[in-house]
Amino acid sequence: MNTITAAITAVGAYVPDFVLSNKVLETMVDTNDEWITTRTGIKERRILKDAEKGTSFLAIQAAKDLIAKANIDPLEIDMVIMATATADMPVASTGVYVATEIGAINAFAYDLQAACSSFLYGMSTAAAYIQSGRYKKVLLIGADKMSSIVDYTDRATCIIFGDGAGAVLFEPNYEGLGLQDEYLRSDGVGRDFLKIPAGGSLIPTTEETVKNRQHNIIQDGKTVFKYAVTNMADASELILKRNNLTNEDVSWLVPHQANKRIIDATASRMNLEDSKVLMNIEKYGNTTSATLPLVLNDFEHMFKKGDNIIFAAFGGGFTWGSIYLKWAYDKK
């Protein structure tokens, strides 16, 4: 029997229409376009303005985009993994609802939460299910409505995040393409530096927690930045060494889009030329679980079968890692 590897065979994406630019943010908080651009690389981000629509709406649109482009039957999807940090509800799984809404009624589904590393961890999980031989089509969706947890009076966070969704389909491959290696890590020290304090079992929702804005995301920016730069770069460098890859062997770096300076530091450690580093942070900001698939969708036309792609991410928790994947198709 030939060895099964797990390859990405299709991608899809969705971002809301409303654009929140740096110029608009200048009217909301004490900041300016130059300051934001210099420190983050972000020019604008997309926001889902409809208060009655949650992360599931974004995810459904991205999944439908993939299904339409790949011309696949949703009934053939075996499994849906929903990577998100902003589930519709605390208990009822967003992934389960999304699977039903897109017609994947033969699939089982669940949510996966590892903050900004959710999609990266989801790639590992999806690949493992495919490599087991039990499943043929695993749909991995990364989606977040970050505007639902951002305090737009807090200039430390409101300039960073946006809303969006992306999706990829994993299928078996017998040519040695797809996911080759992974290095995933976590460290609970990060719990204090990037979090939503209330709304969980530790600090349940009360009138006081709402009044104190404890249901919005807060972060110690300097500490998070320091850990992110070090760990994302370390993980990416390690995955190269472990697979005997040089900078010449790497076709593309697909990094989490949190901050251009973090991306630049990772690329520098890998000694990659700028043309190999894929970024769309200026258009979308940090969409958390959606950044990696949004990059794949935006640059899919540039990928060639056999390309060596390095993925890297860092998120709250702390969570981080790197994945080495060989691209499996040329876009038609």
Active site residues: 116, 256, 286
Find out whether 184 and 124 touch, Cβ atoms under 8 Å.
yes
Angle between helices 291-299 and 118-131 (to 10 degrees): 70
Which of 70, 176, 299 is closest to 311 using CA atoms? 299
Q: What's phi and psi for 313, nearest 5 deg?
A: -150, 160
Residue found under tokens 């460098």 = 237
Q: Which residue in this structure is represented by tokens 């251009």?
A: 260
Residue 236 is given by DSSP the state H
- Cis status, amide bond into 318, omega within 30 of 0: yes
**CA-closest candidate to residue 195, choices 213, 178, 180, 207:** 213
What is the end-to-end Cα distance of the chain in Å, rounded? 30
Question: In the chain, what is the greatest distance between 2 CA atoms, to the nearest angstrom?
Answer: 62
User: What count of Cα atoms within 13 Å lies in the side-chain half-sphere of residue 4?
Assistant: 15
3-class SS of residue 24: helix
Q: For residues 254 and 176, give the distance between their C-alpha atoms in angstroms, rounded to a whole number.
A: 20
Q: Quick one: which of 109, 127, 21, 130 has its CA closest to 60?
A: 109
Q: How many helices (H) and strands (E) does the chain have?
A: 11, 13
Asked whether the CA dihedral 42, 46, 49, 55 is positive or negative, the reply is negative
What CA–CA distance (Å, rounded) separates 297 from 138? 17
